Amino acid sequence: MLPLLNAKCVADTTREIQQFNDAKLNIQAFKEEYSRKVGLSDNEIQDENVANLPLHPDALLVELDDYKALIDRCIDQKVREGIWQILFEGSSLEDLSFERRELEYACLTLQNEHETSMSEIDGFYKDMESIAEEVEESYQTLASRVIELTRTLDELRVEQQELARIDALVGNQNLLTVETARAQVDELTDGYVKLSMANDDRMETIYDLAQRVEEGEREVETLLAEMIAAEGEASEALRSQGHKDEELERQQNWYNSMLNLSHQLDGAENIDSNLTTQLQQ
């Protein structure tokens, strides 16, 4: 009866060890793939192509610098456009002063909108950084739990070896005297009881650690969902800024056409010089 129970215990334990190893490999592979894509630190040299991802922090910083430079150029074009518009309409000095104040106010409004948009984008960027750090911390927690489970499995392997030794002793009982056999039966009985209790404790520990691993995976999934949502909000903010850039580009094209027309008129340079002198006064 005892060898049959022992064989069943060994089979169940072996199956659970294999299941845990498979799960551990899946978790490690998922962690390496995710770290490679978003550029998280894993004590290894990162791929040079990581910074080319659309929403990677380095790529976002480059894109933000491009937007800032573009908006600065558009503001300058807007000022020049207002000046030429006043010139062609033949406004008086009083009108020029009023138009200049309106133009300065429009430029200030545009600058404020630009700063607000940049602040929103910076906020989305910081949110994504925070979520990425939380994901990495969750993976580190999972790794520590996996190490603890591995240590428990090593202890189970030692117990399996002890069970094999006991099986060998039971198989050689017929070569012993009656008194020795009885003593060994008592010893084996005590050993089986202790091993059974220890195995129950180990199984409870494995179950508890497995539950913690599942909770950690759910936390990682939640953090990934939050990161995706933050990326969507950042994309929406960038698209909104793109509509404003299209309007500025249209106004810039109009200004270029007016500038070309002015150079074709007789005395365009003298008009520009007189207008500049009046604005300085």
> Alpha-carbon distance 68 to 184, whole Å?
85
Q: Flag residues of the chain having pLDDT under 50.
A: 1-5, 41-53, 91, 266, 268, 271, 274-275, 278-281
Q: Would residue 231 count as lying in a domain? A: yes
- Give yes or no for a contact between 12 and 30, defined as CB atoms under 8 angstroms apart: no
Query: Which pLDDT value is given to residue 279?
Result: 44
CA distance 41 to 51: 13
Provide the CATH number for the domain around residue 249. 1.10.287
> What's the confidence (pLDDT) of residue 218?
82
Return the pLDDT at 83.
64
262, two tokens: 């002015």
Q: For residue 54, what is the enclosing H or E element?
A: none
Q: Is residue 47 part of a domain?
A: no
pLDDT number for residue 44: 43
Residue 203 has a pLDDT of 81
Coil, strand or helix at 47: coil
pLDDT for residue 87: 58
166's CB contacts (< 8 A; 6+ apart) are 6, 188, 191, 192
On whether residue 49 sits in a domain, the answer given is: no
Please indicate, yes or no, if residue 84 is contained in any of the structural domains: yes
Number of domains, the chain: 1
Structure tokens at 70: 């573009």
Query: Which residue range forms the structural domain that includes residue 77?
Result: 2-16+58-280
> How does pLDDT run across 44-58, given as a tens digit for each residue?
444 444 444 455 566
Residue 138 lies in a domain: yes
Is 211 a domain residue? yes
Give, in order, the Cα–Cα distances in Å from 227 to each of 42, 119, 120, 183. 19, 18, 16, 65
- Per the CB < 8 A criterion, the answer to whether 43 and 143 are in contact is no
CA distances from 80 to 87, 131, 181, 205, 209 (A): 11, 44, 108, 74, 68
How far, in Å, are 175, 183, 220 from residue 27 at the CA level? 51, 48, 11
28 within domain boundaries: no
pTM of the model: 0.28
Residue 23 lies in a domain: no
